[in-house]
Each structure stands twice: as C-alpha cells, then as structure tokens.
Structure 1
Amino acid sequence: MTDPAQAEFADVTEDMFLGGQLLLRQPRRGHRAGHDAILLAAATPARAGHRVVEFGAGVGTAGLAVARRVTGLDLVLVEIDDGLAALARANAEANGIEAKVTVLDVTASADVFAASELGPDSADIVLMNPPFNDAERHRASPDPARQSAHVAAADTLETWTHAARRVLKSGGVLTLIWRADGLAQVLAALERGFGSIGILPVHPNPQGAAIRVIVSAVKGGRAPMALHPGLVLQDPEGGGGAEAAAVLGGKAVLLLAREPGSR
C-alpha cells in the first residue's frame, strides 16, 4: 500500500532538530520547519498528563518537540493538509511519540471541532504558529501550499485565537509566535478571554530590531502583562547566541508562560 505522505510529497528530506533528538521528514518544497517551531515549543509549558494541541502543525515539528521534552502528554496535532498530516503521523511514529493527528481547518465551527474530539474546555495547552505574513506587503509564493502556510488573511489571528480560547480549559495556556511588527494585532486578539500575557521579543542579532515575538496568555488570566528580556539568535561575531543555541539544541527552555491552571 502506498504511503499517503509519499504519494502527496514524492520529494522529501530527513532533517534533525533539537541537536539530533528529533528526526523529521518534510517536503523539500513548500513550507519547511525552522527555528520558529522550535522556539515556540521551547516556550510552551507542559507536564505529564496535559492535553497539548498544536494548531497548523504541518509535519508536527513544534508539538513533537514539546513531546520530546515532556513525556506522557496527550498530544493532538491539527493540520488542514492531508499530505502534511500523513507526514506528521509518520514522524510521530518514527520518533516513538504518541500523538493523534487530526485533519481539520482551524477556522471550522465548534461542532466540527467537537466531532474531531476537540470540544470546548478540553485542552490544557494550545500552541500555534499561524501564517503571519501580511498579504499586502509579502510577495506570495506561486506554490499554493507555501502561500497558505505563510500568508495571513485579514482575520487569521482573530479566528485562530478564538478557536484556541474555545478549546482551552479555564486557566489553560496559549503560546504563539508572530512577526514582531504585528504585536498590536496579537494583543488585540487576546483582549477577549485572555490575560496574564507574557511577551518575548526575538532579535536576529544584538543590534537588530526584533523580528518575532513569542507570546503566552492564560484563558481567564488576571496577572499583569510581562515583557521578558529579548532572545538574540546570533552573537556579535555572527555565530549562534549562547541562549538561542541551547534552546534550539534542546538543552534549554524559554521560561515565558505560566503553568496551566495558574492565573
């Protein structure tokens, strides 16, 4: 029988993440996993027994990276593309990680989510790396899969955040990564139902302005917003910054979000 992942993506690569702790197969062309997914995973709090749901999981990079760090999770990888979902399923199996892979549009109705066993108040943690490039400022790729993975619609952030709020339990944690110049959009999307917000800017080098923000928020949280010291990806000599290298190598986490259940 033909592997669906192979049928959809005849040309795949095998790539190592977390310093060799995680081996992933992914399409050679189209959306490919990179630093963003690993940083998102490192900023996602979890402990054994938590139900962790990744929206827009692709080949499963961020969710599987969390599960590599924390054993005993109830991990659900949500992906709209059948071929990528098949690769995510194969990647989980190849790495010995238990995960349910669900083919689902994050913008679907509550009834559709519930039919996929993602009903309201069912998750401890949601993590997501939504398409975040501005369609008016970003030259879209001719590859439809790559375009959908990178270019945001006007309501992408709002609809994804709404879905996360619905799925999360009270006190559950949302972590997301977004472009830094869109921070105001993130905060606006979190105004309804979220609090205890933590923000971590990600800088390309010590002199550069932030290019990403990693944001955590608690459903029903009441603590003041916290702006954390920035993470620098490269040192002044152009090499990997020590903290970033440790995080990307799976040797350190980003202490950003509160433990699920705290306010």
Structure 2
Amino acid sequence: MEVLSHGTLLDGRLRYRQFRQGYRTGLEPVLMAASVPARPGQRILEGGCGAGAGLMCLAWRVAGITGIGVERDARTAALAQTNFNDNGLDRLRAACATLPDLPAIADFPLQGGGFDHAFANPPWHRTDASASPDPRRDIARRVVANDMLNVWVRSLGRQVRHHGTLTLALPAASLDAAIASMRAHGIGSIRLIPFWPKAGRPARIVLVQGRVGGRGDAALLPGMTLHRADGHFTPEADAILRDGAPLDAG
C-alpha cells in the first residue's frame, strides 16, 4: 500500500492528501487557480490535475463552479476524487485520461467548447533528460514527445468556449513555444505573469493566459516576487497561497 501524506491547502481551509513518494504539489496549481477569471456557475477543465490542488483552491475561491480534472495516472486521479469528496466539493470530478484523448463522457462534446476556462501545468522536462526513479513523478514532469506542449494547447483550447481562457504554468524556457502554439490555435490576447523566487532573481514560473478567439496584443504584467530575503513569503504571495486571494491577470 502506498503511503500518503496528510496536509492542508490555503492555511488549513482545505484538507489535502498526496502520495509521499513521487510528484509533490508545488506552488503552480495554487497560483494558476488564483489567476483563472472564473465566475459562479461556470465550468472549468484542468489538464494533469494531479491530486486536485488547483481545482480545489479555485472551487474554494469561487463558489458554485463545476470542475473536471483530467489525470493520466489512475491512482492519482482516484486520490484527487477522494480529496474532492473529503472537502465536500461535490461539483468537482477527476477522470483518468491521457491528453489529447479525453474521457468518453458527456462533459466533452465532440464539437468542443464545453468549458468556460481551462488550466494546466504541462510536463516540461526534455525527452532526453535523466529519468526520475519514481514512475509517477516521471509521468508528471517528462515531455514524451517533442510537440507535447502543442498537443496540450490544442486539446485543452478546443474544449474552451469563445473568449474563455486557457492558463498554463511554465518555466521561462517554454514561453516561445507556448505563445506560438496558442496563436496557431486561435488563442490570443495573451498575458504573461512572471513569478520571481526572490527580488533580483530570474523568474522560474511564468503563467501564460490567453483567450480563445482573442485578438488583442500580448502583454507582460507586473508579476510577483514570492519570497522575501529571509525566505518567508512576501505579503502578496501569502495573500494567494494562504488566504486564497485572486490574482488579477488583466
């Protein structure tokens, strides 16, 4: 039996379990959840949802949303559903599938466009990088094909309605490919939100958010410094990571 760790999200507001070994949830799902401009009653899709942290944080901030998380690893998808249920988030569901394939359920109409927003933290480790000794961590982080980011953008973007948003959390090295892929698939009005680990350091995480059918110019937003010099979170980061505050993506 695999060992689980028992923790919380948003300063104890949500109970959260994840596998002790393998891929561990970082800051990206919480930051993405803060940036999605969802409203009550809207439908949200997350690609590669892991144990469900992103959808849970978004559902806590915006009551009344319906969310589906797609996860490649069956055991992780089952754990995400357990986390949803344990927190009374009965409008969230996890489904096991590997993008670009999606579950054969009514939530994914053949013509697409069934969701108001989608978000994901796609795998980004190169195909020739050293493999992780833990298979689940390798699945979560490794690019298995050279066009994998493009596949995720196309697959998720197709499910979003006109003028809905697609948000990706990526390393800075993937920005060129992400922007080109979004534009190739009709996603524009792109906003870039960098996150610096400390003042004066290069950004390690960048959120890329575009609108399906958007025609506006790309914009680089002010971004956020995550840690103070002493290693503690900045007040701005604390507001998101502990209090579930929204992040304005413009």
Compute the TM-score of the two structures, normalised by the length of structure 1. Answer: 0.89
**Is 1:25 equivalent to 2:42 in the alignment?**
no
Aligned ranges 1:1-263 → 2 under 5 Å: 10-98=2-90, 99-108=92-101, 112-113=102-103, 115=105, 117-119=107-109, 120-136=112-128, 138-153=129-144, 154-192=146-184, 193-256=186-249
**AA in 1 matched with 2:108:** L
Runs (4 or more) in structure 1 with deviation over 6 Å come to none
Q: C-alpha offsets along residues 29-57 of structure 1, whole Å, 9 cap, x if unaligned?
A: 11111211111111111111100011111
In structure 2, distance between residues paired with 1:124 and 1:117: 12
Question: Alpha-carbon deviation of 1:113?
Answer: 4.6
Question: Contact 2:197/2:226 (CA < 8 Å) preserved in 1?
Answer: yes
Question: Contact 1:15/1:24 (CA < 8 Å) preserved in 2?
Answer: yes
Question: Contact 2:189/2:215 (CA < 8 Å) preserved in 1?
Answer: yes
Question: Contact 2:225/2:237 (CA < 8 Å) preserved in 1?
Answer: yes
**AA in 2 matched with 1:81:** D
Question: Contact 1:181/1:211 (CA < 8 Å) preserved in 2?
Answer: no
In structure 2, distance between residues paired with 1:59 and 1:243: 25
Question: Alpha-carbon deviation of 1:116?
Answer: 5.5
Percent identity of equivalent pairs? 33
Which stretches in structure 1 are left out of the alignment for 5+ residues? 1-8, 258-263
SS at match of 1:30: coil
SS at match of 1:48: coil
Question: Contact 2:188/2:218 (CA < 8 Å) preserved in 1?
Answer: yes
Question: Contact 2:61/2:245 (CA < 8 Å) preserved in 1?
Answer: no
**AA in 1 matched with 2:53:** T
How large is the Cα RMSD of the aligned pairs? 1.5
In structure 2, distance between residues paired with 1:255 and 1:11: 37
Question: Alpha-carbon deviation of 1:141?
Answer: 0.4
SS at match of 2:227: coil
Which stretches in structure 2 are left out of the alignment for 5+ residues? none
Question: Alpha-carbon deviation of 1:10?
Answer: 2.3
Question: Alpha-carbon deviation of 1:212?
Answer: 1.1
**AA in 2 matched with 1:208:** R
Question: Contact 2:61/2:244 (CA < 8 Å) preserved in 1?
Answer: no
Sort the Cα spacing of 1:251 and 1:82 in 2 relative to 1 into closer, same or farther, 3 A: closer
Q: C-alpha offsets along residues 225-244 of structure 1, whole Å, 9 cap, x if unaligned?
A: 11111211111233211211
Question: Alpha-carbon deviation of 1:117?
Answer: 2.6
**AA in 2 matched with 1:55:** G
In structure 1, distance between residues paired with 2:247 and 2:48: 21
Question: Alpha-carbon deviation of 1:251?
Answer: 4.1
Question: Contact 2:45/2:119 (CA < 8 Å) preserved in 1?
Answer: yes
In structure 1, distance between residues paired with 2:131 and 2:197: 23
